[in-house]
């Protein structure tokens, strides 16, 4: 079953074990016997897998997540990497997220997989900025998020009125109505009500989920293109904001992350879909340009540097999203474009910015980080 394997990804073995356990205990049980937590989690995992398998073909295509989170295994994965780059150390945010994930029991991990994937689909396909969005667990980031998306819409010369900024909140998983809307996107109608009830049940019966406040449930952000489910949008996770705060980047978090995700919208608008590290380094560069620019946030040199460290913190060691060094270099390059302009108020047209970055990006990669093909091209 190749499609099933793809969707279940790294947790296939764990899911198989849980299913076998559920089967073994189910045999003598009467129909009316209450389900165990293990059975609930296994059933929910299956429901979410069925939901993803029932989505329209384009539903999640092109959706670009900020990090390849250790948790959401359901749904499409990033394209296969060639293996870790020797001598590279992944960024601090990834290390932190992996540490959190490693502390989960297999049951908690499976519940988190299912609920994180379900929550992502809610923010992508159901949530809308037509209702006021609350960013941060206590709404502490709402003003900054609203300001940032407003500035970005005016900054880049792409169609922007229909790019939504939506809050990704673990507590939405506690609403049966919202989860029923989410399951309706792809699950058989007769199963929707039970699946929604089960999602909220699992949220509260697995203590590690903290009723939706476990940061791993929403430790991400993403940009979705026009033809995907829900249309053009940027989603910003509360768990990501909390984690970035813990790592010491709170004063640049919202602006940098939304600036980066909006950078994907810039690429989407120009059909720029490079199949290499520049797909992530480009948005780092455009985000750097935005925060350093007089018409963006005009941040000073120290704050600009903090942004590049945040860029580095999400770098990985595969030829997919860019290494910490590559991402830092891309962000710094973008910032320099802003601070070295003759006219500080001029905003480079987005098409021109893409072109400039595509030209410079191979030079931003240390030779040791370059895949053999790129080296051959550079020398050829
Ligand atoms: Zn990205």
Helix (H), strand (E), coil (C) string for 38-95: HHHHHHHHHHHHHHHHCCCCCCCCCCEECCCCCCCCCCCCCCCCCCCCCCCCCCHHHH
Q: How much distance in Å is there from the Cα of 172 to the middle of ligand 1?
A: 24
Exposed/middle/buried for residue 2 (C-beta within 10 Å: 0-12, 13-18, 19+): exposed
pLDDT of residue 85: 83
Q: How much distance in Å is there from the Cα of 209 to the middle of ligand 1?
A: 26
Q: How much distance in Å is there from the Cα of 334 to the middle of ligand 1?
A: 15
Q: What share of the chain is helix, strand, coil (3-state, %, to 5)?
A: 60, 5, 35
pLDDT of residue 124: 96
pLDDT of residue 26: 46
Q: How much distance in Å is there from the Cα of 222 to the middle of ligand 1?
A: 7
Q: How much distance in Å is there from the Cα of 66 to the middle of ligand 1?
A: 4
Edge-to-edge strands of the sheet including 164-168? 64-65, 221-224, 233-237, 164-168
Q: Going along the chain, which residue ranges are E strands?
A: 64-65, 164-168, 221-224, 233-237
pLDDT of residue 307: 97
Q: How much distance in Å is there from the Cα of 190 to the middle of ligand 1?
A: 37
Q: How much distance in Å is there from the Cα of 67 to the middle of ligand 1?
A: 7
Reported pTM: 0.86
**167 beta partners:** 236
Q: How much distance in Å is there from the Cα of 286 to the middle of ligand 1?
A: 11
Taking 70 as the pLDDT cut, the residues of the chain under it are 1-32, 69-82, 366-380
Q: How much distance in Å is there from the Cα of 140 to the middle of ligand 1?
A: 24
Task: Report d(CA 256, CA 310) in Å as an integer.
Answer: 8
Reading the block at residue 161, the tokens are 């009125």
Reading the block at residue 224, the tokens are 């979705």
pLDDT of residue 4: 32
Q: How much distance in Å is there from the Cα of 273 to the middle of ligand 1?
A: 12
Q: How much distance in Å is there from the Cα of 282 to the middle of ligand 1?
A: 9
pLDDT digits (tens, 9 = 90+) for 269-286: 999 998 888 999 999 999
Reading the block at residue 170, the tokens are 């673990």
Q: CA distances (Å), 190 to each of 49, 80, 181, 183, in order?
A: 16, 36, 13, 11
Yes or no: say if 358 and 278 are a contact pair by the CB < 8 Å rule: yes
Yes or no: say if 111 and 202 are a contact pair by the CB < 8 Å rule: yes
Task: Report d(CA 258, CA 135) in Å as an integer.
Answer: 12
């Amino acid at each position: 079953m190749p499609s099933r394997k793809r969707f279940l990804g790294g947790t296939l073995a764990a899911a198989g074990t849980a299913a076998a356990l559920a089967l073994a205990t189910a045999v003598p049980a009467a129909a009316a016997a209450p389900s165990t937590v293990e059975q609930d989690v296994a059933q929910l995992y299956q429901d979410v897998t069925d939901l993803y398998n029932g989505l329209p073909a384009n539903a999640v295509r092109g959706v670009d997540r900020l990090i390849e989170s250790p948790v959401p295994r359901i749904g499409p994965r990033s394209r296969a990497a060639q293996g870790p780059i020797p001598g590279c150390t992944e960024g601090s945010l990834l290390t932190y997220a992996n540490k959190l994930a490693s502390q989960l029991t297999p049951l908690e991990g499976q519940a988190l997989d299912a609920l994180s994937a379900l929550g992502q689909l809610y923010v992508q396909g159901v949530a809308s900025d037509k209702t006021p969005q609350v960013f941060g667990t206590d709404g502490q980031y709402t003003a900054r998020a609203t300001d940032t998306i407003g500035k970005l819409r005016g900054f880049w010369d792409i169609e922007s009125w229909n790019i939504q900024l939506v809050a990704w909140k673990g507590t939405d998983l506690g609403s049966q109505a919202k989860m029923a809307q989410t399951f309706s996107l792809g699950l058989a109608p007769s199963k929707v009500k039970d699946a929604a009830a089960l999602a909220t049940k699992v949220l509260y019966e697995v203590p590690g989920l903290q009723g939706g406040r476990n940061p791993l449930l929403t430790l991400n952000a993403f940009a979705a293109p026009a033809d995907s489910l829900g249309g053009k949008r940027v989603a910003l996770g509360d768990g990501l904001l909390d984690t970035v705060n813990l790592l010491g980047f709170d004063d640049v978090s919202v602006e940098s992350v939304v600036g980066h995700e909006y950078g994907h919208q810039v690429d989407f608008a120009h059909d720029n879909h490079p199949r290499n590290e520049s797909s992530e380094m480009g948005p780092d560069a455009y985000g750097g340009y935005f925060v350093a620019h007089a018409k963006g946030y005009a941040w000073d040199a120290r704050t600009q540097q903090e942004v590049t460290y945040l860029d580095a913190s999400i770098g990985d060691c595969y030829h997919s999203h860019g290494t910490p060094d590559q991402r830092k270099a891309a962000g710094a390059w973008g910032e320099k474009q802003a601070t070295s302009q003759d006219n500080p108020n001029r905003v480079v047209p987005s098409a021109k910015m893409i072109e400039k970055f595509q030209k410079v990006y191979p030079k931003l990669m240390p030779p040791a980080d370059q895949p053999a093909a790129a080296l051959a091209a550079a020398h050829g």
